[in-house]
């Protein structure tokens, strides 16, 4: 039933992690360490992170200040694109306010935000029936996983030419490529693949199986929330 997901994703080439883009750091784990405070672990997908900068956690808008950055257990001056780092935030953000799947970014330079809807191209790999408008699988994207509704099937795509083969199809079956409009049911940060590659490709999960893979073409973002500090209404000066 079609090529395995991993082949399809690999055929898109290795992930490009541009250093010159603004920071994107999806959270893998959050810990609280005595006398250090809140620490988040994750991979710097684009940009860099260093002590002294303010970072905002999308989709909820909490802002913290980076106290230190560690890589492989050593303190480093900067975490660069591709590095897996632990970032200490001291007491500037409470552990309870952060969780896996949130994304750290600069509060003022193209900050990450929750997607209202997004348009994606999906390769249906292994679906027992057919996918129709209203289908609500779980999407696994960067470190996040969230239920997402396929609101509209926009077009079937010819796999050979990449051109539109049929507009507004009723359904999409195994082996077909379909452009869809997706609405996350839970707050979710995604980015266009062309801009932030590793935040723009995903697996479609249904009952524990991967039934498709996709790339995000364009995102309609929700407004960036007003910067929130943990546990109060005071705002950081940005």
Report CA torsion sign: 116, 83, 6, 12.
Answer: positive
Note the pLDDT of residue 234.
43
State residue 233's pLDDT score. 39
* Residue at token pair 């979710």: 188
Render each residue's pLDDT in the chain as its tens digit; 238 residues. Answer: 455 455 555 555 667 777 789 999 999 999 999 999 999 999 999 999 999 999 999 999 999 999 999 999 999 999 999 999 999 999 999 999 999 999 999 999 999 999 999 999 999 998 889 999 999 999 999 999 999 999 999 999 998 888 999 999 999 999 999 999 999 999 999 999 999 999 999 999 999 999 999 999 999 999 887 777 765 434 443 3
DSSP strand pairing (78-80 vs 48-50): antiparallel
First to last CA, the chain: 52
The tokens describing 172, both together, are 């999409």
Question: How far apart are alpha carbons 157 and 45 in whole angstroms?
Answer: 29
Q: Write the secondary structure of 91-103 as one string of H (helix), E (strand) and C (coil).
A: CCCCHHHCCCCCE
Nearest to 178 by CA among 201, 196, 162: 162
Q: Are 62 and 84 in contact (CB under 8 A)?
A: no
Which residues, 6+ apart, have CB-to-CB distance to 42 below 8 Å? Answer: 25, 26, 27, 28, 29, 84, 85, 87, 104, 143
pLDDT score, position 13: 60
- The pLDDT of residue 10 is 56
* Alpha carbons 152 and 154: distance in angstroms, whole number: 6
Tokens, residue 143: 């470190």
Stretch (H or E) spanning 10: helix 5-10
- Cross-strand pairs, 26: 103
């Amino acid at each position: 039933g079609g090529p395995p997901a991993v082949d399809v994703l690999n055929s898109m080439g290795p992930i490009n992690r541009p250093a010159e883009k603004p920071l994107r750091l999806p959270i893998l784990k959050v810990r609280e360490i005595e006398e250090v405070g809140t620490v988040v672990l994750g991979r710097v997908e684009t940009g860099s992170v260093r002590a002294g900068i303010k970072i905002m956690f999308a989709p909820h808008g909490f802002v913290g200040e980076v106290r230190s950055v560690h890589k492989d257990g050593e303190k480093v001056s900067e975490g660069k694109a591709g590095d897996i780092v632990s970032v200490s935030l001291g007491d500037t953000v409470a552990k309870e306010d952060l969780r896996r799947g949130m994304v750290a970014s600069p509060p003022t330079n193209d900050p990450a935000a929750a997607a209202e809807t997004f348009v994606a191209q999906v390769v249906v790999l292994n679906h027992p029936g057919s996918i129709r408008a209203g289908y609500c699988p779980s999407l696994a994207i960067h470190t996040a996983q969230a239920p997402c509704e396929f609101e509209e099937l926009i077009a079937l795509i010819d796999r050979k030419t990449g051109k539109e083969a049929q507009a507004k199809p009723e359904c999409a079956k195994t082996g077909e490529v379909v452009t869809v409009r997706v609405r996350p049911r839970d707050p979710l940060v995604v980015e266009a693949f062309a801009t932030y590659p590793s935040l723009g490709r995903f697996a479609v999960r249904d009952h524990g199986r991967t039934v498709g893979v996709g790339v995000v073409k364009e995102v309609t973002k929700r407004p960036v929330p007003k910067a929130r500090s943990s546990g109060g209404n005071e705002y950081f000066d940005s």
